[in-house]
Amino acid sequence: MTNNKAKMILEKDFKISEIDNRIYGSFIEHLGRAVYGGIYEPGHPQADENGFRQDVIEMVKELQVPIVRYPGGNFVSGYNWEDGVGPVENRPRRLDLAWRTTETNEMGTNEFMKWAKLVNAEVNMAVNLGTRGIDAARNLVEYCNHPGGSYYSDLRISHGYKEPHKIKTWCLGNEMDGPWQIGHKTAAEYGRIAQEAAKVMKWVDPTIELVACGSSNRNMPTFADWEATVLDYTYDHVDYISLHQYYGNRDNDIANYLALSLEMDDFIRSVISIADYIKAKKRGKKNINLSFDEWNVWYHSNEADKLIEPWSIAPPQLEDHYNFEDALLVGCMLITMLKHADRLKIACLAQLVNVIAPIMTEENGPAWKQTIFYPYMHTSVYGRGVSLNPIISSPKYDSKDFTDVPYLEATAVYNEENEQLTIFAVNRHLQDSLHLECDIRNFEDYEVIEHIVLENDDLKQTNSAKDTPVAPHSNGNAAIDGGLVTAALPKLSWNVIRLAKRK
Ligand code: AHR
């Protein structure tokens, strides 16, 4: 038994919020091998009649991804959506200036909607506010969502899609604060175009929800002023403000790396404050909620990407091979987001297949699961219901950039429907297991049904198409006695303790 002890209290009535399932969303961009060679590979032995890889579809279904952002990302800021609809043989090849590749447009809006249906996901559609504007945005809403009897809705019908796609969630451009963005704008320039685009998009379909672009990451020099200015223009017309953040263990400092979710927490809190400041300034009634529509680890592939031949078609870009420590940070980030379920309603793990992704594919070969697949799957599958507000006391440590980092990062989700309670926990301790005592009080007559653990002695261990050394097991030792759950959380581990009311 270890001296390293942490306590947690869970009460049915200590609720943060009902979780919006879109918090478990992901992202497919026309980038690298995400679309071509990822979800779509005609000629692959597992391809269906649409060219969609069924092995990939099965893995996406395992993840129970509720919503997928599409088609970008940086790509969307140069994209003409009209290039991707209608007969495939008439579609133009275009230079994608965002990623310096050639886009064939074989896949477009309708094909993607068809794929999303097959994986039971909604689509979070982004419009181009880089090279295009209000007109293209409102036309795309009409094309996708209007039932018929107008130019663009009839065009969709003529393309073989009689029923409207009924897309509910829309992004107003992508990372418009970044100088790398095609059509980069100042906050005021973007605020105005987003305001007008939002207004007319909702005139076409008042049922849609809109996400305005926040900063590309917390370190942008314009961060905070950008959000305030953009929301000042768009408050009346939008529903969410976006956040994007990627991390990497560049200094090979695991204690500091695993603490980065504290920075994510701070980022979320800051954006909530800015949104509330604008609400106060406007004497507004509604809250602007948050869409963390790009988040992940991204750094392993940075050097390899510099060698990519410009203007190639679907080259292997941003193909990070994730190791065990990345899975731990991804787990901490998921827990952090669940703790903000009252304001964070959408989040997209960027991305889903091949490009900084939990799922990888080999051309003409198998699909396989990266290390980060597991914490993402566990939270998506077992983390539906009410996000509880846990009272936690944990020993702490200091790292290079952080003080008071709790060894225990944890939260819990209560599913009232099936009377299941799930504790998600990471032990950040480098050497010791952590003895967890969790008082579950008014969850009477509960039993442990499973204690899943993801652990590995080698922090740098990756998976591959041939081998899955980083995979969870269910041999955790969680037990319950008189309303007290106890468990030893192995050093550096991701844990899922599943409890259910005794039948
Ligand atoms: O997800 C990869 C890229 O990261 C996206 O295209 C862009 O929005 C962000 O910078």
Q: Dig out the tokens for 267 from the structure.
A: 């980022």
Secondary structure (DSSP) of 447-496: EEEEEEEE--S-TT-B--SS---S--BS----EEETTEEEEEE-SSEEEE
- How far apart CA 37 and CA 242 sit, in angstroms, is 29
Give the pLDDT of residue 141.
98
Position of tokens 């990623």?
A: 99
Four-residue CA torsion sign, 426, 389, 228, 186 = positive
Give the pLDDT of residue 355.
98
Give the pLDDT of residue 2.
52
Quick check: CB of 294 below 6 Å from ligand 1? Answer: yes
Domains of the chain in start order, with CATH, are 5-12+388-501 (2.60.40.1180), 20-382 (3.20.20.80)
For the cut 60, the answer to whether the pLDDT of residue 322 exceeds it is yes
Ligand 1 centroid from CA 361, angstroms: 20
Nearest CA to ligand 1 atom 3: 73
Ligand 1 centroid from CA 389, angstroms: 32
Secondary structure (DSSP) of 265-313: HHHHHHHHHHHHHHHHHTT-SSPPEEEEEEEEE--TTHHHHTTPPTTBS
Give the pLDDT of residue 62.
98
Q: 425: helix, coil or strand?
A: strand
Nearest CA to ligand 1 atom 5: 73
Kindly indicate the confidence band of residue 340, based on its pLDDT and cuts at 50, 70 and 90.
very high
Quick check: CB of 74 below 6 Å from ligand 1? Answer: yes
Quick check: CB of 350 below 6 Å from ligand 1? Answer: yes
- What percent of the chain lies above the pLDDT cut of 70? 99
Which atom in ligand 1 lies closest to the alpha carbon of residue 351? 1
Which atom in ligand 1 lies closest to the alpha carbon of residue 31? 6
Express each pLDDT in 246-258 by its tens digit: 999 999 999 999 9
Kindly indicate the confidence band of residue 1, based on its pLDDT and cuts at 50, 70 and 90.
very low
211 Cα distance to chain centroid: 14
Q: Could you tell me if residue 37 is left (phi over 0), alpha (psi between -120 and 50 degrees) or otherwise beta?
A: left
Express each pLDDT in 7-36 by its tens digit: 999 999 999 999 999 999 999 999 999 999
Express each pLDDT in 258-307 by its tens digit: 999 999 999 999 999 999 999 999 999 999 999 999 999 999 999 999 99
Which atom in ligand 1 lies closest to the alpha carbon of residue 350? 1
**Which is the catalytic residue, given 142, 227, 294, 455?**
294
The two beta strands, 367-369 and 359-361, are antiparallel
Which atom in ligand 1 lies closest to the alpha carbon of residue 73? 6
Asked about 175 being catalytic, the answer comes back as yes
For the cut 60, the answer to whether the pLDDT of residue 412 exceeds it is yes
Nearest CA to ligand 1 atom 1: 350
**Which is the catalytic residue, given 175, 209, 227, 325?**
175
Quick check: CB of 73 below 6 Å from ligand 1? Answer: yes
First-residue to last-residue Cα distance in the chain: 32
Express each pLDDT in 379-408 by its tens digit: 999 999 999 999 999 999 999 999 999 999
Asked about 163 being catalytic, the answer comes back as no
H/E element, 194? helix 187-204
Q: Counting every residue, how long is the chain?
A: 503
Mean of the per-residue pLDDT values of the chain: 97
Express each pLDDT in 453-482 by its tens digit: 999 999 999 999 999 999 999 999 999 998
The two beta strands, 405-406 and 396-397, are antiparallel
Quick check: CB of 215 below 6 Å from ligand 1? Answer: no
382 exposure class (CB count in 10 Å sphere: 0-12, 13-18, 19+): buried
- How far apart CA 361 and CA 380 sit, in angstroms, is 22
Quick check: CB of 383 below 6 Å from ligand 1? Answer: no
Sequence-separated (6 or more) residues with CB below 8 Å from residue 13: 442
Residue 113: count of CB within 10 angstroms of its CB: 18
Strands (E), 105-228: 122-127, 169-172, 209-212
Ligand 1 centroid from CA 245, angstroms: 10
Ligand 1 centroid from CA 421, angstroms: 35
Four-residue CA torsion sign, 424, 429, 430, 432 = negative
Ligand 1 centroid from CA 73, angstroms: 5
Quick check: CB of 245 below 6 Å from ligand 1? Answer: no
Nearest CA to ligand 1 atom 8: 73
Q: Among 31, 35, 74, say which to mutate for ligand 1: greatest number of ligand atoms within 8 Å of CB.
A: 74
Which atom in ligand 1 lies closest to the alpha carbon of residue 27? 1
Are 398 and 436 in contact by the 8 Å Cβ rule? The answer is: no
Give the pLDDT of residue 251.
96
Q: Among 26, 29, 96, say which to mutate for ligand 1: greatest number of ligand atoms within 8 Å of CB.
A: 29
Quick check: CB of 29 below 6 Å from ligand 1? Answer: yes
* Residue 157 amino acid letter: I
Ligand 1 centroid from CA 501, angstroms: 43
Express each pLDDT in 96-149 by its tens digit: 999 999 999 999 999 999 999 999 999 999 999 999 999 999 999 999 999 999
Are 330 and 346 in contact by the 8 Å Cβ rule? The answer is: no
Nearest CA to ligand 1 atom 6: 73
Are 300 and 229 in contact by the 8 Å Cβ rule? The answer is: no
Give the pLDDT of residue 503.
87
For the cut 50, the answer to whether the pLDDT of residue 495 exceeds it is yes
Nearest CA to ligand 1 atom 9: 73
Q: Among 35, 68, 218, 244, say which to mutate for ligand 1: greatest number of ligand atoms within 8 Å of CB.
A: 244
